[in-house]
Protein backbone atom coordinates (compact mmCIF):
# COMPACT_ATOMS: atom_id res chain seq x y z
CA UNK A 1 0.00 0.00 0.00
CA UNK A 2 1.38 3.38 -0.99
CA UNK A 3 1.51 6.16 1.59
CA UNK A 4 0.83 9.54 -0.02
CA UNK A 5 1.75 12.99 1.24
CA UNK A 6 -1.02 15.36 2.23
CA UNK A 7 -1.23 19.09 1.75
CA UNK A 8 -0.51 19.42 5.49
CA UNK A 9 2.64 17.32 5.06
CA UNK A 10 3.89 19.60 2.28
CA UNK A 11 3.12 22.76 4.27
CA UNK A 12 4.93 21.31 7.29
CA UNK A 13 7.98 20.54 5.12
CA UNK A 14 7.81 24.06 3.72
CA UNK A 15 7.72 25.60 7.19
CA UNK A 16 10.66 23.47 8.37
CA UNK A 17 12.64 24.32 5.25
CA UNK A 18 12.03 28.05 5.61
CA UNK A 19 13.05 27.90 9.28
CA UNK A 20 16.26 26.06 8.48
CA UNK A 21 17.36 27.62 5.20
CA UNK A 22 15.50 30.93 5.06
CA UNK A 23 13.97 32.58 2.05
CA UNK A 24 10.94 34.61 1.17
CA UNK A 25 8.21 32.77 3.04
CA UNK A 26 4.66 32.45 1.77
CA UNK A 27 2.34 30.72 -0.61
CA UNK A 28 2.16 32.39 -4.02
CA UNK A 29 -0.93 30.46 -5.13
CA UNK A 30 -2.58 27.83 -2.95
CA UNK A 31 -4.44 26.37 -5.94
CA UNK A 32 -1.11 25.55 -7.61
CA UNK A 33 -0.15 23.44 -4.59
CA UNK A 34 -3.52 21.67 -4.72
CA UNK A 35 -2.99 21.10 -8.44
CA UNK A 36 0.49 19.63 -7.92
CA UNK A 37 -0.82 17.16 -5.35
CA UNK A 38 -3.80 16.31 -7.57
CA UNK A 39 -1.43 15.46 -10.43
CA UNK A 40 0.14 12.74 -8.27
CA UNK A 41 -3.30 11.29 -7.51
CA UNK A 42 -4.36 11.44 -11.17
CA UNK A 43 -1.16 9.65 -12.16
CA UNK A 44 -1.78 6.99 -9.51
CA UNK A 45 -5.39 6.34 -10.49
CA UNK A 46 -5.05 6.44 -14.27
CA UNK A 47 -1.51 5.50 -15.32
CA UNK A 48 -0.51 2.58 -13.05
CA UNK A 49 2.82 4.18 -12.12
CA UNK A 50 5.52 2.68 -9.97
CA UNK A 51 6.61 4.31 -6.73
CA UNK A 52 9.50 6.13 -8.47
CA UNK A 53 7.14 7.80 -10.90
CA UNK A 54 4.93 8.92 -8.02
CA UNK A 55 7.84 10.36 -6.05
CA UNK A 56 9.12 12.09 -9.16
CA UNK A 57 5.65 13.52 -9.76
CA UNK A 58 5.65 15.19 -6.33
CA UNK A 59 8.96 16.88 -7.07
CA UNK A 60 8.19 17.71 -10.69
CA UNK A 61 4.74 19.24 -10.19
CA UNK A 62 5.68 21.25 -7.11
CA UNK A 63 8.73 22.63 -8.91
CA UNK A 64 6.89 23.36 -12.16
CA UNK A 65 3.70 24.74 -10.55
CA UNK A 66 5.79 27.04 -8.33
CA UNK A 67 3.14 27.44 -5.59
CA UNK A 68 5.47 29.08 -3.03
CA UNK A 69 7.17 32.46 -3.10
CA UNK A 70 10.55 30.81 -2.55
CA UNK A 71 11.96 27.33 -2.02
CA UNK A 72 9.95 25.46 -4.65
CA UNK A 73 12.90 23.32 -5.77
CA UNK A 74 13.75 22.48 -2.15
CA UNK A 75 10.17 21.55 -1.31
CA UNK A 76 9.77 19.58 -4.51
CA UNK A 77 12.86 17.54 -3.70
CA UNK A 78 12.00 17.18 -0.01
CA UNK A 79 8.50 16.01 -0.84
CA UNK A 80 9.87 13.28 -3.11
CA UNK A 81 12.47 12.18 -0.56
CA UNK A 82 9.92 12.08 2.28
CA UNK A 83 7.48 10.19 0.04
CA UNK A 84 10.17 7.61 -0.70
CA UNK A 85 11.10 7.36 2.98
CA UNK A 86 7.48 6.78 3.97
CA UNK A 87 7.30 4.04 1.36
CA UNK A 88 10.49 2.30 2.55
CA UNK A 89 12.77 3.46 -0.22
CA UNK A 90 16.08 5.12 0.50
CA UNK A 91 17.53 7.35 -2.18
CA UNK A 92 21.34 7.13 -2.18
CA UNK A 93 22.92 9.83 -4.29
CA UNK A 94 25.04 12.88 -3.68
CA UNK A 95 23.74 16.35 -3.00
CA UNK A 96 25.43 17.40 -6.23
CA UNK A 97 23.48 14.79 -8.22
CA UNK A 98 20.20 15.81 -6.56
CA UNK A 99 20.89 19.48 -7.19
CA UNK A 100 21.72 18.80 -10.84
CA UNK A 101 18.53 16.90 -11.65
CA UNK A 102 16.30 19.33 -9.74
CA UNK A 103 17.78 22.31 -11.59
CA UNK A 104 17.20 20.45 -14.86
CA UNK A 105 13.53 20.06 -13.92
CA UNK A 106 13.23 23.76 -13.05
CA UNK A 107 14.91 24.68 -16.35
CA UNK A 108 12.60 22.33 -18.32
CA UNK A 109 15.56 20.19 -19.40
CA UNK A 110 14.28 16.96 -17.81
CA UNK A 111 10.88 15.30 -17.63
CA UNK A 112 9.04 13.59 -14.81
CA UNK A 113 9.92 10.28 -16.51
CA UNK A 114 13.64 11.11 -16.46
CA UNK A 115 13.39 12.17 -12.83
CA UNK A 116 11.71 8.85 -11.97
CA UNK A 117 14.51 6.96 -13.74
CA UNK A 118 17.08 9.01 -11.81
CA UNK A 119 15.43 8.20 -8.47
CA UNK A 120 15.18 4.53 -9.34
CA UNK A 121 18.88 4.43 -10.25
CA UNK A 122 19.70 5.89 -6.81
CA UNK A 123 17.34 3.70 -4.80
CA UNK A 124 18.21 1.11 -2.21
CA UNK A 125 15.22 -0.80 -0.89
CA UNK A 126 15.14 -0.62 2.93
CA UNK A 127 13.32 -3.94 3.32
Domain 25-125 maps to which CATH number in 1.20.1090.10, 3.40.50.720, 3.30.565.10, 1.20.120.1870?
Answer: 1.20.120.1870
Boundaries of every domain in the chain: 25-125
CA distances in angstroms from 57 to 13, 19, 25, 32, 65, listed in the order given: 17, 25, 23, 14, 11
In whole angstroms, give the CA distance from residue 91 to residue 42.
24
Task: Render pLDDT for 45-94 as a digit per residue (tens, 0 to 9).
Answer: 999 999 999 999 999 999 999 999 999 999 999 999 999 999 999 999 99
In whole angstroms, give the CA distance from residue 26 to residue 48.
34
Q: What is the pTM of this model?
A: 0.94
Amino acid sequence: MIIFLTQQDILRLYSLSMSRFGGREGIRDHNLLISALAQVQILYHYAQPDVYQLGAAYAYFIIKNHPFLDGNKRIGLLSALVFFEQNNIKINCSDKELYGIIVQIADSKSSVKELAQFFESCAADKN
